[in-house]
Amino acid sequence: MPELPEVEIAARNLRRWMARRRIGALRADARARRLFRPGTPAALQALAGARFQTLRRIGKNLLLTFAGKSGPLGVWSHLGMTGKWLRRAAGEPAPSASRVELTLDDGAHVHYVDRRMFGRFRLVPGARFDGLSEIAALGPDPLTDGIDAAALRARLAGLRTPIKVALLDQTILAGVGNIQASESLFRAGIDPRRPARTLTGAEVKRLAAAILESIHFTLDDFAAAGADGGGADIGYVEERQTENPFLVYGRPGAPCPRCKKGTIVRMVQAQRATFFCPRCQK
């Protein structure tokens, strides 16, 4: 269930698993049609025999490029709410809810797993990702591009919608999700209910810094839990046994970690949970 940090971890894992590898065989779950739309499970067979070349992450999107038999071949992968990429050594059983299984020429299996199937796994002929309107519409990626506070403020200037809801709009910033939105507004000391256009320049600047801090904090937490680069694969939040690493997300009723006097409140905005401290977020 990924936001930018988890998708970044998936990207690093996939680059390591797939480097210089060729896809020997491919199996696609025929019941998972919606993941492949408008393509079909059968059409994915075009990937058989293709060699991995590069992987790019933009926000929560993974763009994989392969060298196919007749030219470049792209895959657009979005993990939705429950998508994840897992590796299994030769002989190991497939994970449950595996929707696509890539058998690599080193014998390993790479699975795209997605229980609820809100994700996407779409073949992109010629790897022409710039032809995808969904990708073209994305705003800047905080990790890759940084955040231009002035540009962000200009983007928020016309919006009556609450700042928390605006942060979930992928055309404003690509990759911020429900956790990072609550966490960064808490770090910036900004009330999530404020209409986006009422934020001052100084507040947007603070928010931009807070988004980057929160993303880096979450990535570091993953690295500590899974040792990225050390060779071990990194787990996903839902799988690991460790404590909730977040400041306010998922902590209704807890004392505020900043002011110590307020209590973290859970409310619902645009049908999504928001966590905040009403005492120190103004």
Partner DNA sequence: ACCCGTGTTCGCTG
Partner DNA sequence: TCAGCGAACACGGG
Only one of the segments 15-23, 48-56, 156-164, 199-207 lies at the binding site for DNA (rule: CB under 7 A); that segment is: 156-164
The site for DNA, by CB under 7 A, has a size of 36
185: nearest Cα among 104, 277, 265:
277
**In a 10 Å sphere around its CB, with 0-12 CB exposed, 13-18 middle and 19+ buried, how is residue 244 labelled?**
exposed
Q: Which of 8, 12, 41, 60 is catalytic?
A: 60
Q: Is 232 exposed, middle or buried (0-12, 13-18, 19+ CB in 10 A)?
A: exposed
Least gap, CB of 262 to DNA (angstroms): 20
- Contact between 73 and DNA by CB under 7 A: the answer reads no
Q: Is 84 helix (H, G, I), strand (E, B) or coil?
A: strand
Applying CB under 7 A, which of residues 52, 62, 75, 78 lies at the interface with DNA? 78
Distance CA 68, CA 162 (A): 46
Active-site position among 51, 272, 278, 279: 272
Please choose, from the candidates 148, 163, 223, the residue with its C-alpha nearest in 3D space to the C-alpha of residue 198. Answer: 163
Bridge partners (DSSP) of residue 112 are 85, 100
- Residue with Cβ nearer DNA (143 or 179): 179
Q: How far is the CB of 5 from DNA (least distance, A)?
A: 7
Q: How far apart (Å, rounded) are the C-alpha atoms in residues 114 and 136?
A: 25
Cβ 104 to DNA shortest distance, Å = 26
Q: Is 60 considered catalytic here?
A: yes
159: amino acid identity, one letter? L
- Assess whether 192 carries a catalytic annotation: no
x-marked contacts with DNA along 115-154 as a string, rule CB under 7 A: xxxx---------------x--------------------
What residues make contact with DNA under the rule CB under 7 A? Answer: 1-3, 6, 31, 34, 59-60, 78, 80-82, 115-118, 134, 158-161, 165, 168, 170, 177-179, 236-238, 266, 268, 270-273
- The residues that are catalytic are 2-3, 60, 272
